[in-house]
Chains A and B, each alone.
Chain A
Amino acid sequence: MKFPLKPFAIGATAVLALGLASCSGDGGSGDDGGSGEIDADHSVGAMEDFGVGDTFVATEPVEFGLMYRDHPNYPLKQDWSILQHLKDDHNVSFDIQSVPLADFGQKRSLLISSGEAADMIPSTYTADVANLTSGGALLKVSDYLEYLPNFQDKVEKWGLQADLDRTRDADGDFYVLPGLLEIAKPDYTIAIRADLWEEAGLEDPATWDEFTEQLKVIQEKFPELSYPYTERTWSAAGVALPATLQAASGNFGTEAGWGYGDGVTWNGSEFEFSGAQDGYRDMITYFHGLIEDGLLDPEGLTQDEDTAKAKFTTGKVAAISTNSQETTGYRQGLAESGLDDAVVRNIVVPAGPAGNIMDATTGGRFESGIAISAKAADKPYFKAMLQYIDWLYFSDEGLEFARWGVEGETFEGQGADRKLLPGIDWNGVNPDAGDNPKLLNTDFGYYNGVWSLAHGSTAEELGMMVSEETANFRTEMNAEKEIADGGPAVPLDALQREEVAITQTNLEDLVMTATSQFLRGDRPLSEWDAYVEELRAAGMDEYVATINEAAGTAS
Chain B
Amino acid sequence: MVTTTESLTAGPDLSGIRASPRGIKPTPSYRVFTAINIVVLCLVGAVTLYPFLNLLARSFSSESAIRGGEVFVWPVGFNTTTLLSVIDQKLFWINYGNTVVYTVVATVIAMVLTTTFAYVLSKSHLKGRGLLIGLALFTMFFSGGLIPNYMLIVELGFKNTIWAIVLPQAINVFNLLIMKSFFENFPTELEEAAAIDGLTTYGIFLRVVLPLSRAVIATMVLFYAVAFWNSWFPAFLYMDKPELYPVTVFLRNIIAGATGTGEGLSDAAVQIGANVKAVTTVLTVLPIVCLYPFIQKYFVSGVMLGSVKG
Rounded to whole Å, the gap between the CB of A188 and the closest CB of chain B is 13
A11 touches B134 (CB 8 A): yes
Q: Is B193's beta carbon under 8 Å from chain A?
A: no
Q: Bin chain B's interface residue count.
A: 35 or more
B68 within 8 A of A: yes
How far is A71 from B264 in the complex, measured between Cα atoms in Å? 10
Q: Are B256 and A102 in contact (CB under 8 A)?
A: yes
Nearest CB of B to A350, in Å: 26
Q: Which of A12, A100, A314, A325 contacts B236 (CB 8 A)?
A: A100
Q: Tell which of B69, B264, B274 touches A427, judged by Cβ atoms closer than 8 Å.
A: B264
Interface centre among B66, B262, B310 (most CB of A within 10 A): B262
A102 in contact with B255 given A7-B131, A71-B263 (CB within 8 Å): yes
- CB distance A12 to B67 under 8 Å? no
Is A72 a contact of B257 with CB atoms below 8 Å? Answer: yes
A100 and B240: CB pair below 8 A? no
B187 → chain A closest CB, angstroms: 20
Check A11/B270 contact, CB under 8 A, given A71-B263, A107-B237, A114-B147: no
Contact across chains for B130 and A4 when beta carbons are under 8 A apart: yes
Report the interface size class on chain A: 35 or more
Q: Shortest CB–CB separation between residue A336 and chain B, in angstroms?
A: 4
Known: A6-B130, A107-B237. A74 touches B154 (CB 8 A): no
B241 touches A98 (CB 8 A): yes
Q: Please, which residues of chain A bring their CB within 8 A of the CB of B63?
A: 336
Is there a chain A Cβ closer than 8 Å to B60's Cβ? no
Q: A102-B252, A107-B237, A114-B154 are in contact. Are A73 and B265 (CB under 8 A)?
A: yes
Residue B137 at the chain A interface, CB threshold 8 Å: yes
Cross-chain contact of B266 among A73, A99, A103 (Cβ < 8 A): A73
- Residues A72 and B256 in contact in the complex (CB < 8 Å), given A7-B135, A110-B147, A310-B69: yes
Chain B residues within 8 Å of A333, by CB: 64, 67
Tell whether A4 pairs with B266 under 8 Å between CB atoms, given A98-B242, A102-B255: no
Q: Which of A6, A100, A114, A116 contacts B249 (CB 8 A)?
A: A100
Asked if A169 is at the interface (CB within 8 A of a chain B CB), the reply is no
Residues of B57-81 whose CB lies within 8 A of A:
63-64, 66-69
**CB 8 Å contact bits of A92-123 with B (1 = contact, 0 = none):** 00001111111100010010011010000000
Binds B, one of A269-277, A439-447, A491-499: A439-447
Residues of A within 8 A of B253 (CB): 70, 72, 100-102
Nearest CB on A from B270, distance (A): 6
User: A325's closest neighbor in chain B, by CB?
Assistant: B262
CA of A71 to CA of B242, assembled, Å: 11
Nearest-neighbour CB distance to chain A for B72, whole angstroms, equals 15
Shortest beta-carbon distance, B239 to chain A, in Å?
Answer: 8
Instruction: Convert B103-143 into 0s and 1s, putting 1 for each residue whose CB lies closer than 8 angstroms to a CB of A.
Output: 00000000000000000000000000011111101100010
In the bound assembly, the distance between CA atoms of A102 and B63 in angstroms comes to 23
A152 and B202 alpha carbons, distance in the complex (Å):
73
Chain B residues near A427 (CB-CB < 8 A)? 264-265
A332 in the interface, Cβ–Cβ < 8 Å?
Answer: yes
Query: In the complex, what distance in Å separates the CA atom of A6 from the CA atom of B134?
Result: 8
Given contacts A75-B91, A100-B252, contact A110 B150 (CB under 8 A): yes
**Which residues 59-100 of A sit at the B interface, judged by CB distance below 8 A?**
70-76, 96-100
In chain A, positions 317-356 with a C-beta closer than 8 Å to chain B are: 325, 329, 332-333, 336-337
A residues less than 8 Å from B147 (CB atoms): 110, 113-114
Complex CA–CA separation, A442 to B253 (angstroms) = 16
Instruction: Check B285 for interface membership: any CB of A closer than 8 A.
Output: no
**Is the Cβ of B64 less than 8 Å from the Cβ of A116?**
no
Chain B: interface secondary structure? helix
Q: Does B197 contact A (CB under 8 A)?
A: no
Contact among B240, B252, B264 for A442, CB-based, below 8 A:
B264
Give chain A nearest CB distance to B50 CB in angstroms.
19
Task: Report chain A residues within 8 Å CB of B204.
Answer: none
Which A residues touch B83, using CB under 8 A?
Answer: none
Contact of B263 among A76, A306, A449 (CB under 8 A): A449
Q: Which of A425-465 contact B (CB under 8 A)?
A: 426-428, 439-442, 447, 449
Binary CB contact string for chain A from 401 to 426 against chain B (1 if under 8 A, 0 otherwise): 00000000000000000000000001
Residue of A whose beta carbon sits closest to that of B260: A101
Measured in the bound complex, the distance between the Cα atoms of B27 and A549 in whole Å is 83
B138 near A75 (CB under 8 angstroms)? no
Once A73-B269, A75-B89, A75-B242 are accepted as A-B contacts, the answer to whether A7 and B130 lie under 8 Å apart by CB is yes
**Interface status of B102 (Cβ within 8 A of chain A):** no
Q: Are B138 and A12 in contact (CB under 8 A)?
A: yes
Q: In the complex, which residue of chain A has the Cβ closest to the Cβ of B62? A: A336
Q: Do A313 and B67 touch (CB < 8 A)? A: yes
Of B258, B264, B269, most buried by chain A (CB within 10 Å of CB) is B264
Residues of B within 8 Å of A114, CB to CB, are 147, 150-151, 154
Q: Do residues B257 and A73 form an inter-chain contact, with CB atoms below 8 A? A: yes
What are the residues of chain A within 8 A of B132 when measuring CB–CB?
A: 7
**B146 CB-CB contact with A under 8 Å:** yes
* Contact yes or no, A8 B138, CB < 8 A: yes
What are the interface flags for B216-258 relative to A under an 8 Å C-beta threshold, 1 for contact and 0 otherwise?
Answer: 0000000000000000000011001110010001101111111
Is the beta-carbon distance between B236 and A10 smaller than 8 angstroms? no
The distance in angstroms between the C-alpha atoms of A504 and B91, with both chains bound, is 43
**Bound form: Cα–Cα A114–B274 in Å:** 37
Partner of B133, one of A4, A442, A449: A4
Asked if B267 is an interface residue, CB under 8 A from chain A, the answer is yes
* Cα(A515)–Cα(B262), bound, Å: 29
Residues from chain A with a CB closer than 8 A to the CB of B236 are 100, 103, 107
Name B77's closest neighbour in chain A (CB-CB).
A336
Q: A185: CB under 8 A from chain B?
A: no
Chain A residue, CB-CB nearest to B143 = A15
A310 touches B67 (CB 8 A): yes
Q: Is the CB of A100 within 8 A of B245?
A: yes
Query: Is A309 on the interface with B (CB-CB < 8 A)?
Result: yes
Q: Is the CB of B270 within 8 A of A306?
A: no
**Chain B neighbourhood of A71, CB < 8 A:** 257, 263-264
Tell me the bound Cα distance from A427 to B249 in angstroms: 26
A-B contact pairs, 30 of them (CB 8 A): A4-B130, A4-B133, A7-B131, A7-B138, A11-B134, A71-B257, A71-B264, A73-B265, A76-B242, A100-B252, A101-B256, A101-B257, A102-B249, A103-B252, A114-B147, A114-B150, A114-B151, A116-B150, A116-B151, A116-B154, A306-B274, A307-B69, A325-B265, A329-B270, A332-B270, A336-B63, A337-B64, A337-B68, A441-B264, A447-B264
**Which B positions have Cβ atoms within 8 angstroms of A?**
63-64, 66-69, 89, 91, 130-135, 137-138, 142, 146-147, 150-151, 154, 236-237, 240-242, 245, 249-250, 252-258, 260, 262-267, 269-270, 274, 310
Please name 15 further chain A to chain B contacts, defined as beta carbons within 8 Å, in addition to the given A7-B130, A99-B240, sorted by A numbering: A7-B131, A7-B134, A7-B138, A8-B137, A11-B135, A73-B266, A73-B269, A100-B253, A113-B147, A306-B69, A307-B69, A310-B67, A337-B64, A442-B264, A447-B264
Q: Which 8 residue pairs spanning A and B have beta carbons closest together?
A: A7-B134, A102-B256, A72-B257, A100-B253, A336-B64, A4-B130, A7-B131, A441-B264
